[in-house]
DNA sequence: TTTTTTTTACCTGATTACAGGTAAAAGAGC
DNA sequence: GCTCTTTTACCTGTAATCAGGTAAAAAAAA
């Protein structure tokens, strides 16, 4: 049996690179290439597909949402995500939305081939560098940081827009004193001296938006 | 004459994609492929090269510095930069350091071919999307933003670390009042209400570090 | 249901930031 | 030389933040 495979990437060069790589694999058949997720969604309704290799950073619709949409209707299709750089949270998000694996584009040809074969066999696969990314920071980066509550995030966002305590209170229909308490709690939670340090911290850790 | 060409990219897939593309061009001969700039610098001393296609985001040494180094010793080599996303300032920097062109990786095969041919003929070339990037934002993004002076950047950096006016004054051996003046000037320059808004602005525009 | 977290709210005092105006010395550019 | 920008510095007053303690609804989790 030959696995009907499609490639989704907004870089023509990358598509041709992957296509060249996959042409070595006998039981993989490339049936189509796409530069956006929209065109893939059209195609998928009328054609049988077994395997999808997709870039995560795509125009219009991103890889995570694309994966989720496809998996809802076609759970049997094996989907492998790719990107140049990667963050732990992004990889986890992709897997939680049904992805069968994640490969960094700096992976070697052998890594690519191994991952694809294992994914077809039903395994969840990661390229080497992805493995180190998702295993290491678990103890320090994500578990150490408590995370903002909904209200705290609202207030932090308004703080980053330069609003004063009074303005935030007016915006959220709260008492001045309530907002003041939230401010203090946020600062204490991360042991920050003032909003300046807090916002630097929040922005660098992508905790706003 | 066949142009001796090397490709530098830390993604094996991209290398093979470009190699596949260039194999169609009769007067281009790919003599070597590299995953980092260091190995290229070694190679270049002992071998004749006419054309280099290089990724800008490389490990250890970045594309801009690599281009500068090569051009100092070998000004006749034609160097074309590539990247996935691009900022205006980065493209300009690359050209100012001797680059002969810049192509976004989402360019079509035809764009790639055209750019390479024109670059060989001595032109400075850009792919379509790069052209729009470097022409459009001139009036709003870059010229509108005055930029921080050295001292202002020092102070802004310490502010982002949560330091108070007095602490900054102590750190930089300045009067409290001097730092206060700088703070006000920075806020006025960008019409920001307070440090919170300022730091959001500076970080989002990569104006710190 | 009980427990924990979140959200709401108040009081006080010390510290700091912000807005206004002013100005001289040093350096860069023409 | 002159001009513009930058860096340095001072004074005053108002407004806002920060740190301390306290506490009761409301919501979420156990």
Q: For the segment A162-201, what is each residue's pLDDT rounded down to a tens digit?
A: 999 999 999 999 999 999 999 999 999 999 999 999 999 9
Q: How far is CA A38 from CA A59, A70, A102, B85, B98, in A?
A: 9, 11, 21, 21, 39
Mean pLDDT within B35-60: 89
pLDDT at A144: 54
Count of structural domains, chain B: 2
Give the E-state strand segments of A64-106 in sequence order.
78-83, 101-104
Calpha distance A148→A158 (Å, rounded)? 14
On the question of pLDDT at A141 being above 50, the answer is no
Q: What is the pLDDT of residues A44-71, one digit of tens each?
A: 888 999 999 999 988 888 888 888 888 8
| Distance from C-alpha of B115 to C-alpha of B126, rounded to nearest angstrom | 7
Name the band, by pLDDT with cuts 50, 70 and 90, for residue A142.
Answer: very low
CA B31 from chain centre, in angstroms, equals: 26
> Among B40, B42, B47, B54, which Cα is nearest to B7's?
B54
| A152 CB inside 7 Å of strand C | yes
Q: Which residue has the higher pLDDT, B1 or B38?
A: B38
For residue B145, the model assigns a pLDDT of 60
Q: Each residue of A2-20: pLDDT tens digit?
A: 889 999 999 899 999 999 8
Interface of B with A in 28-87 (CB under 8 A): 35, 57, 84
Residues of B in contact with A11 (CB under 8 A): 14, 17, 84, 105-106
Is A124 a domain residue? yes
Residues in chain A, overall count: 209
A23: Cβ under 7 Å from strand D? no
State yes or no: pLDDT of A99 exceeds 50. Answer: yes
| Chain center to CA of B62 | 8
- Residue B70: which CATH number? 3.40.50.2300
Residue B131 and residue B59 in one domain:
yes
Of all residues in chain A, the one with the smallest CA distance to B109 is A12
| Domain-embedded: residue B209 | no
Residue B92 clears pLDDT 80, i.e. is over it: no
3-state DSSP of B6-18: EEECCCHHHHHHH
Higher pLDDT, B200 or A207: B200
Question: What gap in Å lies between CA B171 and CA B160, rounded to an integer?
Answer: 14
Closest CA to B28 of B61, B47, B56, B52: B52
* CA of residue A129 relative to chain centroid, distance: 16
- Alpha carbon distance, N-terminus to C-terminus of chain B: 46
| pLDDT tens figures, B114-157 | 888 888 888 888 877 767 766 654 444 444 567 788 999 999 99
Size of interface A-B (CB pairs under 8 A): 115
Domain boundary among A114, A138, A162: A138
Whether residue B112 sits in one domain with residue B57: yes
Q: Residue B177: its pLDDT value, please? A: 95
C-beta separation of B80 from B102 below 8 A: yes
* Domain hosting residue A123, numbered range: 3-138
Return the CATH number at A177: 1.10.10.10
In sequence order, which residues have a C-beta less than 8 Å from that of residue B74 and are 6 or more positions away? B44, B49
């Amino acid at each position: 049996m030959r696995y009907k495979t499609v490639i989704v990437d907004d870089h023509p060069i990358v598509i041709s690179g992957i296509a060249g790589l996959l042409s070595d694999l006998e039981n993989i058949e490339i049936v189509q290439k796409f530069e956006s997720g929209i065109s893939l969604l059209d195609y998928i309704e009328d054609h049988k597909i077994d395997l999808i290799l997709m870039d995560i950073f795509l125009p219009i619709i991103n890889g995570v949402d694309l994966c989720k949409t496809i998996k809802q209707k076609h759970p049997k299709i094996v989907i492998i995500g790719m990107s140049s750089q990667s963050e732990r949270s992004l990889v986890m998000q992709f897997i939680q939305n049904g992805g069968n694996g994640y490969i960094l584009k700096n992976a070697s040809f052998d890594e690519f081939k191994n991952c694809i074969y294992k994914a077809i066999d039903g395994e969840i696969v990661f390229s080497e560098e992805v493995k180190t990314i998702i295993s290491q920071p678990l103890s320090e980066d994500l578990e150490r940081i408590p995370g903002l509550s909904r209200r705290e995030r609202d207030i932090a966002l308004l703080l980053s827009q330069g609003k004063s305590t009074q303005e935030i209170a007016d915006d959220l229909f709260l008492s001045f004193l309530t907002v003041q308490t939230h401010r203090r709690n946020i600062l204490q939670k991360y042991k920050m001296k003032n909003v300046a340090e807090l916002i630097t911290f929040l922005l660098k850790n992508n905790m706003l938006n």
